[in-house]
Amino acid sequence: MKLSKTTRIIMGVASLSLIVTFLVPLWQILLWAPQYPEGLTMKIWIDKLTGQVDIINGLNHYIGMKHIDTHMFPEFAYMGILIGFLIAVGVAAAVLGSGRILFFFTLLSYVYGVAAMWDFWRWGYDYGHNLDPNAAIKVPDMSYQPPLIGYKNLLNFTSYSGPDTGAWVIIGVCLLATLLWWWEFFRNRNMTRAQGSTVGKTVSVAGIFALLNFASCSTEPEPIRYGQDECFHCKMTLTDKRFGAEVVTNKGKVYKFDDLNCLVNFLKEDTVPEANIAQIVAVDFKKTGSFVDVNKAFFLQNEAIKSPMRADVASFYDKKDLESVKAETGGGKEMTWAEVK
């Protein structure tokens, strides 16, 4: 997935903004009590602790809690490296325009967040539960684990734990990266669909042209639309469904005729050279709508047949049909195609 220019710029700026986390605290713990109405603070940075840590240690000493100092947090040794790596991944996503690297950055941000919260909870549990048995003040079944996030009452103190400026920057960048990845995902998917649609339309158009070309090159006869089609030779409308003929060229062009004499005259005029004719068919007199190849047909000429242009010749595929009509009309002359033309 290729990132857009806008996403790359935003991602680059967002990644570099994580440098701020080296300059501001990441987390804060606040304590309030009647004797400390203004509150006590402890700030956790990327590699140090600040605030009124000594006062907090002095108070916690009475209830047996451990002494808080930087040595209690081995994470300070590598947190800067982890954040630096995250910045590098984000910048790489921006420079290379890679959706995969952006996804890795986003996933890594969430992994960092979950791992940090678990690590902080683990520290808080140990800090609040593993108390000095020789402490001056002991409260049975009482633990002093600070809240993971939010407020909690501990004896006469109200404590608060939550993100500070650095953590909010990380959260903001993580959410922004998530939005950017999803935006790019849907943008690229829509582009792929649009391209597929364009290809599909191109294929469809090509298919239509191919079908039209196939249809135009088909050497099969066309059904005659009686009452609509016009005889190519005499220009009369075809109306009698017992008669009709067609010449089909090698390129699929169809010439229609209302009577065999119009067909014969057309062939004599050599409008279409014989070499360019694919087939010549005539309507079967007894089978409405059916064609018969003139070279295989049987023909009967009789004035009683009364064809449109008075050639008075009927075409048959089946010799028995010819004999039946011949008997009905009182005779007539049987002919071959060579004799008709």
pLDDT in tens, 255-286: 999 999 999 999 999 989 999 999 999 999 99
Residue 211 lies in a domain: no
Same domain, 152 and 291: no
Same domain, 177 and 102: yes
How many of the other CB atoms lie within 10 Å of CB of 222?
Answer: 13
**Residue 254 bridge partners (DSSP):** 248
Strand order in the sheet with 277-283: 254-257, 245-249, 277-283, 291-293
Residue 199 lies in a domain: no
Last residue within a domain, chosen from 149, 166, 193: 193
Supply 305's token pair: 């047949």
pLDDT digits (tens, 9 = 90+) for 140-186: 777 788 898 999 888 788 999 999 999 999 999 999 999 999 999 99
- Domain hosting 80: range is 5-193
Q: Tell me which of 134 and 106 has the higher pLDDT.
A: 106
Residue 302 has phi, psi (to 5 degrees) of -160, 130
- Predicted TM-score (pTM) of the model is 0.55
Same domain, 15 and 117: yes
Same domain, 249 and 167: no
Same domain, 43 and 184: yes
Residue 225 lies in a domain: no
Instruction: Name which of 119, 132, 27, 21 is nearest 72 in CA terms.
Output: 119
Residue 238 lies in a domain: no
Mean pLDDT along residues 111-127: 93
Residue 224 lies in a domain: no
Same domain, 59 and 147: yes
Same domain, 154 and 33: yes
231 pLDDT higher than 60: yes
Same domain, 308 and 166: no
The confidence score (pLDDT) of residue 138 equals 80
Residue 104 lies in a domain: yes
47 pLDDT higher than 70: yes
Asked whether 247 and 277 are in contact (CB, 8 A), the reply is: yes
Asked whether 290 and 317 are in contact (CB, 8 A), the reply is: yes
Distances from the Cα of 158 to the Cα of 26, 151, 152, 164, angstroms: 21, 7, 6, 18
Give the count of domains, the chain.
2
The confidence score (pLDDT) of residue 201 equals 57
35 pLDDT higher than 90: no
Same domain, 27 and 97: yes
Residue 206 lies in a domain: no
Last residue within a domain, chosen from 125, 158, 193: 193
Supply 50's token pair: 């600040």
The confidence score (pLDDT) of residue 217 equals 59
Same domain, 296 and 189: no
220 pLDDT higher than 50: yes
Same domain, 30 and 139: yes
Last residue within a domain, chosen from 130, 160, 193: 193
Distances from the Cα of 197 to the Cα of 35, 184, 204, 205, 260, angstroms: 72, 19, 10, 12, 51
Same domain, 276 and 137: no
CA atoms within 13 A on the CB side of 224: 30
Residue 262 lies in a domain: yes
